[in-house]
Amino acid sequence: MKYDVAAYIWPSYTGREDRTRIFWPNGEGEWQTVRAAGARYEGHDWPRKPLLGYKDEADPATMAEQIDIAASHGVNVFIYDWYWYDRRPFLENCLNDGYLPAARNDPRVKFYLMWANHDAGVLWDKRNSDRQFLPGGQPPVWRGDIDLAEFRIVCRRVIERYFFDPLYYTIDGKPVFSIYEMSNLIKGLGGVDNTRRALDEFREMCVKAGLPGLHLQMVVTHPAAASWPGTTTPGMCRALGIDSLTHYQYVHFVAAGRPYADALKEVYAEWERVPSAYGLPYFPHISVGWDASPRFVEYTGGTYTGNTPELFGEAMRAAAAFADKHPENPRLITVNSWNEWTEGSYLLPDDLHGYGYLDEIKKLQG
């Protein structure tokens, strides 16, 4: 393929993880929220239905079907959101039980991990999600920050369980490990200097295990999540030895509540700003859209309107052109996402646009 098109996966569409019943008591993961979603205002294009059905994504048969669709449309990497809460992994089932067994038989789509190390709050529980907007908010269900002892456990787990897998995505032979919320990592580890030492130890663990090293990627999110008091965010990244940057979602840096076409102007400007400001390789990011209203009873929030497959295709071509301008970097493009149904940002086919978004990627790959 011309480009490595890597789509984020939100691994919540299964009931096999017992703790998901805290948020989705019906036992089918966040499909419960998708099924209940409806139009919230005039012209709102919900409900939407998945053309493949409400299938368990921790089932290898389900993921075999999705891998075939991804590969045949030019998506050749999945970035799995990976969680560690309450001193143990959370939502690993879709990766371990669904994707990996399926990909053994069809290895056209590789994977890597993005550690979604944010706090887990009431957002996923539609019965309570609006409460986060009350004065003072709501305390988290689980915290995402961890201390050094627990960080070492996380490092050992991902090295031993995932990094040696032949399906794991690498850059220069090094497994790519993305971190979502750098400020939470620094908070748990006790400052920038301590975090640098911990990350250096992580790299050393990889080398001692027999790997050529580790490629650490940071997600550039909203400023509060990607910075630390007393330093600029670019300075912090350099101090930590981060290898590359990308984004997770437009809404982190471009306000919603506007036409998608208008948002793209700011997106393209961000692509130019980030590598210049940070002095680090940046992989361009494309979001399909944004509409988190299915997760709330009252709150609607802003959406990107007019996010047609055609405009998405325009954005993909712009990302490809950006990648072509930087031949020193791998031609990697990240996409939000494969299956973020409750955020209105997914590539999987639905009854509104069919395979339209995927077809645009297929055209790009040629």
Could you tell me if residue 140 is inside a domain?
no
Give 284-318 pLDDT, tens digit per residue.
Answer: 999 999 999 999 999 888 999 999 999 999 999 99
The C-alpha atoms of residue 64 and residue 101 are separated, in whole angstroms, by 9
In a domain, 130, yes or no: no
- Report yes or no: 161 and 111 within 8 Å, Cβ to Cβ: no
* pLDDT given for residue 227 in this prediction: 67
* Cβ proximity of 151 and 201 under 8 Å: no
CATH classification of the domain holding 111 = 3.20.20.80
Percent of the chain with pLDDT over 70: 99
**pLDDT at res. 234:** 87
- What's the residue count for the chain? 366
The whole-number average pLDDT for the span 202-217 is: 98
List the one residue out of 288, 281, 366 whose CA is nearest residue 325.
281
pLDDT of residue 196: 97
Which two structure tokens, joined as six digits, stand for 3?
């480009």
pLDDT in tens, 18-51: 999 999 999 999 999 999 999 998 899 999 999 9
Mean per-residue pLDDT for 153-182? 98
Distance, CA of 160 to CA of 244 (rounded, Å): 23
Q: What is the pLDDT of residue 65?
A: 98
State the total domains in the chain.
1
pLDDT tens, position by position, 120-130:
999 999 999 99
Q: Quick one: residue 176, left, alpha or beta (phi over 0 = left, psi -120 to 50 = alpha)?
A: beta
pLDDT of residue 228: 77
Please report whether residue 135 resides in a domain: no
Q: What is the pLDDT, as a whole number, of residue 226? A: 65
Q: Is residue 35 part of a domain?
A: yes
Domain membership flag for residue 141: no
Let me know if residue 138 belongs to a domain. Answer: no
Q: Which domain holds residue 347?
A: 4-119+146-365
Evaluate whether residue 127 is within a structural domain.
no
| pTM score of the predicted model | 0.98
Three-state DSSP state, 333 = strand
pLDDT tens-digit series, residues 211-262: 999 999 999 987 655 667 877 888 889 899 999 999 999 999 999 999 999 9
Determine the average pLDDT of the residues in 75-90. 98
Q: Is residue 93 situated within a structural domain?
A: yes
